[in-house]
Structure 1
Amino acid sequence: MIKNNIEDKYTMSLSLNVLNHLGINLYSNIPSVISEIVANAWDADASEVHIHITDNNDIIIQDNGSGMDIDDINNKFLNVGYQRREHNEAITAKYSRPVMGRKGIGKLSMFSIANDIDIYTSKNGSINGFNMNLEKIKDAIKYDGDNVCYHPDSIIYEGDNFIGTKIILKDLKKRISSITPQFLIKRIARRFSVLGNKYKFKVYVNDQEVQIKDRDYFHKVEYVWYIGCKEDDNEYKPYFENVKKEKYLSGEVEKNKNYYVSGWIGTVKEAGALKDGDENLNKIILIVRGKLGQENILDIYNEGGLYSKYLIGEIHADFFEDDNCEDMATSSRQEYNVEDERFEFLKNFIKNVLKEIQKEWTSLRNEMGVEEAISIYPSIKKWMDELKGDDKKYAKSILGNVNQIIVDEDKKKEILKYSILAFEKLKYNNNLSKIDDLNLESLDNLMVILNDIDDIEATLYYQIINERINVIKKFQEITEVDVLENVIQQYLFEHLWLLDPAWERASSTEYMEKRVKNALSIENINGLTDEEIKGRLDIGYKTSAGKHIIIELKRYSRRVSRNDIYSQITKYHDAIRKLLSNTGQENVPFEIVVVLGKLVEDLSQTELEKFYNSIASYNTRVVYYDNLIENANKAYKDYIEANKKVAPLIDMFDEISKE
């Protein structure tokens, strides 16, 4: 039983220091912050939002919404944590929109990127203006203690009358010289689904309207599974231009609880197509009430099949923001509580959808492989037409496998020819059907496979998959740290697909490789401490699809701190930018990959995400040695399992041949 104290013995205090956790560090990039302001405009019943990037690197966001008077400013906008839904404001007055805001902290995200903010707002013919300054807020936190009040400075608006709210972000923390209107248009389009006349909500960037099609990935999709929509009422379909196959799936997540979703999941022809500059599109985003709710829910499934590297999609789940249920969004507003039953229901629903997609994707890719083979060699159609029964089935399978794995068209043609030759040899010996009947107790069947193993290895599995499996095996078998380092130094630069499947054809020119290595070794390595240099193993340079890739290898046994990484990548970043500028390649993308054993610090998941987001601004990401093995095994696990079955036969055949 809890008893009331006679006097107040205990006290809980909340200070402006909350800004440090829920505002200043809430987001790490400009599109995220702009999106929070756009969401506020939606909640204010705006029909238009105009965003301008000025010549002096300010960002102006102006809407024609309901605006605010003095009471609104003080009691709602400046009241950190004011929750509209708890004040009977869950639906907007003019357009009856379900509001996007919930925790009342999104406005604080502006301090993530700006040190100085002017806000002008008009309501009932009166314009009010005030300035919020980050340094002054910090001073209030530092000198005034807990439970203080920060008083923004009043400012006078000098301009034409307007209706709504105008926000000017000044003294930005990050340089936005690389943030073009087109970049911002694409990012905003990817964060909102309530754009255009249908929703009476238009967003403009430097006078160019942001539209759904500006997401710029619909054209990449080859196969698409529509979820929770009807064929005669599908708002997504008009955006897909190059889809070869489509299917409609139910959006019923849990009927008894009225949980339904809509959206789509698609696959692209080549995994490399999901690389969009610094952004990886290999994800399924979650959209709630028309706004991006979670960046990627695909990563919670730990999918290992090759098909998962081709996935992209959008799931709309408005039941996540049911006003009658507990708020399931985390304080960061960038993800949801995975322990909430709604998340569990959605997780299981999508898991079943992915299983169906995986099965159908393999079949579709096989079919497409046959179609492409016929288009490459017209004579193949005649060859296929002459095949009967299981022979045709095995032929389709082998052509489909070539299509699934090989991206390089020239290599695909070469492997295709060898595959057909191997097929014909097996067919001539009536061995095709016996492959499925392989039984170690049957000497005849075993000899059949051994006699034809050279033909099989000369095809796809030997020339492509076997090579990759051997590399993965080396990582798996090595347990001694020093040996592990030598193997990685020897093989990693030659097999960049271990770092990224899209870098299958990474290469380099002697001229640029020399210049890049000189820039790194002379201008930057000399600037490192002896301790930092000892921690290095090597630096590599490659190019892939027009991108420059710089790989910094740390010794496996070396434990590296975040400060060590910041110290080096800032030097690399500036050196590469300077080099590209000097060679007329200012707009050519580049990426820095740091491969290491482990960080010194024992960080929480939240701290790790903040660290990864911070180095992303330097075009940098971290990869851990142990994850190379794990991820490679996941990506090629089907082929590794197949190889395990064949490997003993190969060894036996080699042994017999030597006798």
Structure 2
Amino acid sequence: MSDLEMSFDPHTIEHLGIKMYSRVANAIAELVANAYDADADTVHIKLYDKDEFKIIVEDDGIGMSFNDINSCFLRIGRKRRKTDEGRKTLKGRTITGKKGLGKLALFGIGKSINIITKKEDSDKQISFNLDWDEIITQNSGSYRPHYTIKKDELTNHGTTIILSTLKRKTPFDIQSISNALSRLFNFMNTNFKIKINCNDGNIIDVGQENKYDNLNIQFQWDMQDLCNEIESNYIRKCELKGKILSTQKPVVSDYRGITLYANGRLVNSAGFFGISEAPVALSYITGWIEADFIDEEAEELISTDRQSLNWDIDQAQELQVFLFKIIQLVTKKWNAQRKQENIKKTKEKTGVDIKSWTNTMPNKLKNDIEKIIEKVVEKPELDEEIASDIVKQLHEIIPKYPYYHFRELHKEVKQASESGYQSKDYYKAFLEAAKRYVNAVAKKSDDSLDGDPLMSKVFSEHNYKLDVVKRYSNNSKIRDFVLKDIRRGQMFLSKGVVAGGRNVLSHTEYEDLKKTELFTEKDCLDLLSLLSHLFKRLEESEQRK
């Protein structure tokens, strides 16, 4: 049996190892991908930051033989897609590893890598160690790690990798690492589980749901439905899958954008495929797209660190053009749905039906209010709580039928005229209020006359039955002729209401009058205000003794 041997250019190792990966999650992701490719059911990540900083990654995959280690694991830059037999594992998984550089990622976060592995159906367990300080000092371009082989009759199989001598000296944020891993992969399901814990504490299951656990999702769109809405000659559009989501409030930067996966593994970090982030909608958009065909394209299509596609390549440019259209469509849908949702929520929170409310306003005021509402409620990016508060306050200031409301009509006038006014039957509104006044005068004066004769008698200059200024008669500051003029004014104004209201219908058909502009909304409000004044005087009046 020959020795284990790694062949390399030391400078390549340094560039692709330390300088390519510095985040824990990204480095661990390479081992998770290896476990997936090895047909593991479970990969368990154990973090330690107490007595010693170290990371242990265990999987129950098929493991490696001595020959596998030498010809595959220790070979830098091996193109697995060309050397592995077929593109599928025994469980039918598409191989995610592509360039044979993943193991170098570990040197970006630590200096010592201990590998323990046992091949399926083998009775030998192999253990070997890769030491960064030893590797980087090798001038020969080859490195022979120390290894041991021991007998293991147990049926278990798989690979354990222990990463120690870590550069990190601060505690692990297990939740943050879990969330980061969930964004780097899209193949977690019942057939492949990722588990993580720290210092042998509670185990967290890393799943696709982790990506959006803390997000308040408002709308979502299925990728296939979106693709079907877009007219395009892009030949791969039917192969795209996934979901695009929007949140109630702006998405935190780590989640903002659409992540692109191929065969369950990240190939382009979250972004908007060429659209600038100027549209407000993009602050609320997240999600993922599965484009497995990317793995079938040119080797150079995916960057080495798997954070982006090489968009200058023709195949990538064709995809980008189509995804650009997808984002434009989603932005349009978000604006429309968010606007309707804001209107709906505003009505629920305030009880104000905006359309019904503004329809009670005169045209000029209605147009002005609708412009304000459009800037507030229909502005999709405005928080619904703020929008609701503004609408509520605006409604309190300007209620339904604002001109009618602002006149502060006498309660009797309001009760009698309200129905006619709201139905825009302005003459009827005035006529009903005038009738109410005439009846009130007759009742208080205890007189059986009606109309003009009633007003002339009850408020006559000399023999009046009701004194509308009696309470002011002992006020030395008010002269007698002033009180006399007010009495006469009550009579003439009351007679005018009868003449201008009830008597008109003696000579004109009601329907014909409605069709003219002889009696407008403003005429109605002016006369209702007059009636309110007359009612006030009537309420203050006293029977003459």
Return the TM-score normalized by structure 2: 0.63
Letter of the aligned partner of 2:106 in structure 1?
M
Local SS of the residue matching 2:164: strand
Structure 1 pair 329–422 and aligned structure 2 pair: CA distance change class (3 A)? farther
Alignment of 1:338-357 (within 5 A): 338-357=311-330
- Aligned equivalents of 2:241, 2:214: Cα separation in 1: 16
**Counterpart amino acid of residue 214 in structure 1:** N
Aligned to 1:153: 146
2:382 is aligned to 406
Output the amino acid matched with 1:204.
K
1:74 offset after TM fit, Å? 0.9
Give matches, 1:388-399, under 5 Å.
Answer: 398-399=372-373
- Answer yes or no: is the 8 Å Cα contact 2:361–2:400 preserved in 1: no
The two structures, once aligned, show a CA RMSD in angstroms of: 3.4
Alignment of 1:450-599 (within 5 A): none
Sort the Cα spacing of 1:397 and 1:118 in 2 relative to 1 into closer, same or farther, 3 A: farther
How far is 1:405 from its partner? 4.1
Show the counterpart of 2:537.
Answer: none
Q: How does 1:293-312 map to 2 (within 5 A)?
A: 293-298=267-272, 300-312=274-286
Is it true that 1:16 corresponds to 2:10 in the alignment? Answer: yes
Letter of the 1:303 partner, please give it.
E
Segment of structure 1 superposing worse, 102-111 or 302-311: 302-311
Kindly indicate whether the alpha-carbon contact (under 8 Å) linking 1:283 and 1:298 is maintained by their aligned counterparts in 2.
yes
Q: Counterparts of 2:374 and 2:287 in 1: how far apart (Å)? A: 24
Aligned counterparts of 1:414 and 1:408: Cα–Cα separation in 2: 9
- Say whether residues 1:358 and 2:331 are aligned partners: yes
* Secondary structure of 1:345 counterpart: helix
1:164-179 map, 5 Å: 164-179=158-173
- 1:20/1:114 Cα in 2 relative to 1: closer, same or farther (>3 Å)? same
Q: Which residue of 1 aligns with 2:195?
A: 204
Q: Name the structure 1 match of 2:222.
A: 226
- Name the aligned partner's letter for residue 123 of structure 2: G
Question: Are the equivalent residues in 1 in contact too, given 2:39–2:91 (CA < 8 A)?
Answer: yes
Deviation at 1:76, TM superposition (A): 0.6
**Cα distance change, pair 426–57 in 1 and its aligned pair in 2 (3 A):** farther
Which of the residues 18, 38, 51 maps onto 2:45?
51
CA distance 1:400–1:382, shift in 2 (3 Å): closer
Counterpart residue identity of residue 143, structure 2: Y
Change (3 A) 1:129 1:371: same
- 2-structure distance, mates of 1:251, 1:42: 35
* Partners of 2:181 and 2:152 in 1: CA distance: 28
Partners in 1 of 2:347 and 2:398 — Cα distance?
A: 16
Aligned match of 2:391:
416
C-alpha displacement of 1:342? 2.3
1:71 alignment partner in structure 2: 67
Inter-CA distance 364–132: structure 2 relative to 1 (3 Å threshold): same
SS in 2 for 1:190: helix
Deviation at 1:261, TM superposition (A): 0.9
Deviations 1:321-379 (A, max 9, x none): 11x64441123332111112222122111211222222222222221222122122214
Tell me the CA shift for residue 398 of structure 1: 4.6
1:188 CA drift (Å): 1.8
Question: Given the superposition, is the C-alpha separation of residues 368 and 422 from structure 1 closer, same or farther in structure 2, using an over 3 Å criterion?
Answer: farther
What's 2:34 paired with? 40
Point out the more displaced range, 28-37 or 396-405.
Answer: 396-405
Cα distance between partner residues in 2 of 1:339 and 1:422: 58
Deviation of residue 110 (structure 1)?
0.7
Answer whether contact 1:26 1:109 (CA < 8 A) is retained. Answer: yes
Q: Is the 8 A contact 2:217 2:246 kept in 1?
A: yes
The separation in 2 between residues aligned to 1:365 and 1:394, in whole angstroms, is 23
Which residue does the alignment assign to 1:588? none
SS of the aligned residue for 2:143 comes to coil
Which residue matches 1:520? none
- CA-CA distance at 1:135 after TM superposition: 1.0
Change (3 A) 1:318 1:82: same
Instruction: Name the residue aligned to 1:371.
Output: 344
Aligned to 2:244: 265
Residue 132 of structure 1, aligned match among 119, 130, 133: 130
Give per-residue Cα distances to partners, 1:116-136, cap 9 Å, x unaligned.
Answer: 110011012211111111111
Contact 2:227 2:326 in 1 (8 A): no
Distance change >3 Å, CA 311–CA 389, structure 1 → 2: farther
Matched, 1:213 2:233: no
Code of the aligned partner of 2:262: V
Question: Which protein is bigger by CA-based radius of gyration?
Answer: 2
Alignment of 1:563-642 (within 5 A): none
Report the AA paired with residue 329 of structure 2: E
Q: Which has the higher contact order (CA 8 A, sep 6+)?
A: 2
Query: Equivalent residues in 2 for 1:78-157 (5 A)?
Result: 78-123=74-119, 124-140=122-138, 144=139, 148-155=141-148
Task: Please say if residues 33 and 110 of structure 1, whose CA atoms lie closer than 8 Å, have aligned partners that are also in contact.
Answer: yes
Partner AA of 2:327 in structure 1: L
Q: Is the 8 A contact 1:113 1:174 kept in 2?
A: yes
Rate the CA distance shift 1:251–1:365 in 2: closer, same or farther, 3 A: closer
Q: How far does residue 109 in structure 1 lie from its aligned partner after superposition? A: 0.4
State the one-letter code of the partner of 1:320: I
Q: C-alpha displacement at 1:291, in angstroms? A: 1.0
Query: Residue 474 of structure 2 corresponds to which residue in structure 1?
Result: none
The 3-state SS of whatever aligns with 2:218 is: strand
| Structure 1, unaligned runs of 5 or more | 1-12, 230-246, 429-659
For 1:261, the aligned partner's letter is: L
Query: 1:31 maps to which residue?
Result: 25
Q: CA deviation at 1:290?
A: 0.3
Matching of residue 286 in structure 1 with residue 260 in structure 2: yes
User: How far off is 1:267 after superposition?
Assistant: 1.7
Q: Which of residues 303, 320, 327 is equivalent to 1:330?
A: 303
Paired residues, what number?
384
Shift in alpha-carbon separation, 1:109–1:427, aligned structure 2, 3 A: farther
Give the conservation status (yes or no) of the 8 Å contact 2:357–2:399.
Answer: no
Q: Is the 1:225–1:264 Cα contact (8 Å) retained in structure 2?
A: yes
How far did 1:61 drift? Answer: 0.6
Q: For structure 2, list consecutive stretches of 5 or more residues without a partner in the other structure.
A: 1-6, 198-202, 404-545
Identity of aligned residues (%): 26
Cα pair distance change 1:328/1:384, threshold 3 Å? same
Task: Give 2:340's aligned amino acid.
Answer: E
Structure 1 counterpart SS, 2:117: strand
The normalised TM-score by structure 1 is 0.53
